[in-house]
Amino acid sequence: MNFIDGIAISNYRSFGAEPKNIGPFSKINIFIGKNNSGKSNILRFINQYIPKLNNFFKKKPRFTRNPTEIHNDLYPNDFIWGVASDFSKNENLIQYEKALKSRGIHKAYINDIIKFVELFRKNYYGLLWTYREGLNFTSPLIHQENLKNLVTRNNINITSIVRALNLNENRTIDERIGDILKTIVISNTKFPKSTLISDFRRIKRGEKVSEENLPGSPDFSEFDGSNLILQLAALEQSQENEYEQNMELFNSIERFVRTVTHSPNAKITIPYTHDKILVDLEGDHHIRPIESLGTGIHEVIILAAACTILQKQIVCIEEPELHLHPLLQKDFINYITDFTNNQYFISTHSAHLLNAPGISIFHITLKNGETKVSNAYKISEKFSICKDLGYQPSDLFQTNSIIWVEGPSDRIYLNYWISSFDPDLIEGLHYSIMFYGGKLLSHLTPSNDESIDNFISLSKLNQQLMIIMDSDISPSRKVINATKKRIKDEFVEFSDLAWITKGREIENYLNPDLLFEAVKVCHPRKGVTKLDGSGQFECVTKFVKNNNELETYDKLRVALKYIEIEEQPDFSVLDLEKKIKTVTNFIRESNQLPLID
The CATH number linked to 471 is 3.40.50
Residue 463 sits in which domain range? 401-506+572-590
The CA angle 351-354-356, to the nearest 5 degrees, is 135
Domain count for the chain = 3
Task: Pick the most confident of 280-289, 320-329, 577-586.
Answer: 577-586
Whether residues 485 and 424 share a domain: the answer is: yes
Residue-wise pLDDT tens digits, 458-506: 554 455 778 888 888 887 777 877 777 777 776 666 545 888 899 899 9
Residue 485 or 311, more confident? 311
Closest C-alpha to 507, from 475, 459, 542: 542
Helices 326-339, 295-309: inter-axial angle, 10-degree rounding: 10
Whether residues 443 and 516 share a domain: the answer is: no
Of the candidate ranges 120-124, 158-162, 192-196, 287-291, the one whose mean pLDDT is the lowest: 120-124
Does any domain span residue 176? Answer: no
Q: How far is CA 263 from CA 258, 266, 308, 477, in A?
A: 5, 5, 20, 54
Whether residues 454 and 586 share a domain: the answer is: yes
Closest C-alpha to 538, from 574, 508, 573, 502: 508
Residue-wise pLDDT tens digits, 398-437: 446 888 888 888 999 999 999 999 998 888 778 888 777 5
Whether residues 531 and 583 share a domain: the answer is: no
The pLDDT of residue 266 is above 80: yes
Residue-wise pLDDT tens digits, 318-374: 888 776 777 788 888 989 998 999 999 999 887 777 767 789 999 999 998 899 999
The pLDDT of residue 43 is above 60: yes
Residue-wise pLDDT tens digits, 64-102: 555 555 545 544 456 777 888 888 888 888 888 898 899
Whether residues 442 and 456 share a domain: the answer is: yes
Whether residues 208 and 306 share a domain: the answer is: yes
Q: What is the mean pLDDT of residues 218-236?
A: 67
Whether the CB-CB separation of 42 and 365 falls below 8 Å is answered with no
Whether residues 498 and 578 share a domain: the answer is: yes
Whether residues 430 and 538 share a domain: the answer is: no
Does any domain span residue 524? Answer: yes
Residue 269 DSSP label: E
Q: Which of 272, 294, 311 is the last residue of a domain?
A: 311
Whether residues 439 and 538 share a domain: the answer is: no
Does any domain span residue 209? Answer: yes
Whether residues 586 and 452 share a domain: the answer is: yes
Does any domain span residue 338? Answer: no
Does any domain span residue 111? Answer: no
pLDDT given at position 70: 54
Residue 524 or 446, more confident? 524
